[in-house]
Amino acid sequence: MTKLSVNINKIATLRNSRGGNNPDLVKVALDCERFGAQGITVHPRPDERHIRYQDTFDLKAVIATEFNIEGNCKEQKFIDLVLANKPAQVTLVPDILGQITSNHGWDTIKEQSYLKDMVSLFQDAGIRVSIFVDPVIEMVEGALATGTDRIELYTEAYASYYHKNKEQAIAPYIAAAKKANELGLGLNAGHDLDLDNLKYFAQNIPNLLEVSIGHALISDALYFGLENTIQLYLKQLN
C-alpha cells in the first residue's frame, strides 16, 4: 500500500500571512493523521517563509505517524535541524536560496561524493534517507552509489504533461521505478500530484512506497474539507 504523507507547508504560509497561530499548524498536522494520513512532511527554508524551524521541534514532539523533513543539506542549519529532531525520514532536495519551490532533482553523479557523506551522516543518526531525483536512469544508478535508502521521483514533468499524453508522461517514471526496484532502492514520489493524475501514477509505478502531497491537497481542502480531501487522496492511492 502506498502511503500518503501530507506536506503542510501551505498551512504555515497561511498562518504566517497574518501572524499569530491561526491556523494552528500542530493541530492541522494531528488532524491530518486523525483523518488517515500516514505521514507528515515539512520543507523548511532559510527564510522561514512557511515552516519555521521551531515548527519542526513542535511537530516532532507530537507526530505519531512518519515525520519527513525535506530540504537542502548544503545548508548547515538544515543539517543541524534534522539531526536535532531525528525524523523517520529526511528527503534531500537540491534547492537554491530564494527558490519558490523545488524544480529539479540531484545530479547524483556530479554530487555523488558529497551525497554519500550526507547520506552516511543521517543514517548514522538512525534516520532513513531519500534523495530527490529526476526520472533518469543514470540519476537512479548514481543514487544507489550514495548509499541512500530511497529515492523520491520529482513528478512535475509527469503532472505537466499528463493531460496531453499520459502514457508518454509516465513512461520515464516507469523506467526509473523499474531500475530503482532492480537496484533495491525504496521509491517515493512527489510534486504536483493531485486528484486528477495521482491514481494513474500510483497504478503504473511498481512498488511505490510513499507520495508526499501538499499544495494540491491543501487547495482541494478549501472546497472539499480537509478530512474528505485526505480520504479522496487515499482512495486514489488504494
**Annotated binding-site ranges for 1-deoxy-D-xylulose 5-phosphate:** 45, 50, 101
The reported pLDDT for the residue numbered 200 is: 98
Q: Give the residue carrying C-alpha cell 496531453.
A: 164
The reported pLDDT for the residue numbered 105 is: 84
- Catalytic site residue from 66, 152, 191, 210: 191
The reported pLDDT for the residue numbered 238 is: 87
Whether 42 and 55 have beta carbons less than 8 Å apart is answered as: yes
Q: Name the residue range of residue 57's domain.
A: 3-237
Count the domains in the chain: 1
- 70 tagged catalytic: yes
- 104 tagged catalytic: no
The reported pLDDT for the residue numbered 15 is: 97
Task: Output the tens digit of pLDDT for each of the chain's 238 residues.
Answer: 899 999 999 999 999 999 999 999 999 999 999 999 999 999 998 888 899 999 999 999 999 999 999 999 988 999 999 999 999 999 999 976 555 555 578 999 999 999 999 999 999 999 999 999 999 999 999 999 999 999 999 999 999 999 999 999 999 999 999 999 999 999 999 999 999 999 999 999 999 999 999 999 999 999 999 999 999 999 999 8
SS (H, E, C) the chain: CCEEEEECHHHHHHHHHHCCCCCCHHHHHHHHHHCCCCEEEECCCCCCCCCCHHHHHHHHCCCCCEEEEEECCCCHHHHHHHHHHCCCEEEECCCCCCCCCCCCCCCCCCCHHHHHHHHHHHHHCCCEEEEEECCCHHHHHHHHHHCCCEEEEECHHHHHHCCCCHHHHHHHHHHHHHHHHHHCCEEEEECCCCCCCHHHHHHHCCCCCEEEECHHHHHHHHHHCHHHHHHHHHHHHC
CA distances 41 to 66, 90, 116, 176, Å, are: 8, 9, 23, 23
Q: Which of 7, 205, 11 is nearest to 102 (CA)?
A: 7
- Catalytic site residue from 33, 66, 70, 210: 70
**Annotated binding-site ranges:** 7, 18, 45, 50, 101, 192, 214-215
- 163 tagged catalytic: no
Per-residue pLDDT tens for 26-55? 999 999 999 999 999 999 988 888 999 999
Type of residue at 131:
I
Q: Which of 159, 170, 150 is nearest to 216 (CA)?
A: 159
Type of residue at 119:
V
- Catalytic site residue from 43, 66, 152, 210: 43
Task: Specify the CATH number for the domain of residue 19.
Answer: 3.20.20.70
**Annotated binding-site ranges for 3-amino-2-oxopropyl phosphate:** 7, 18, 192, 214-215
Residues 6 or more apart whose CB falls under 8 angstroms from that of 113 comprise none
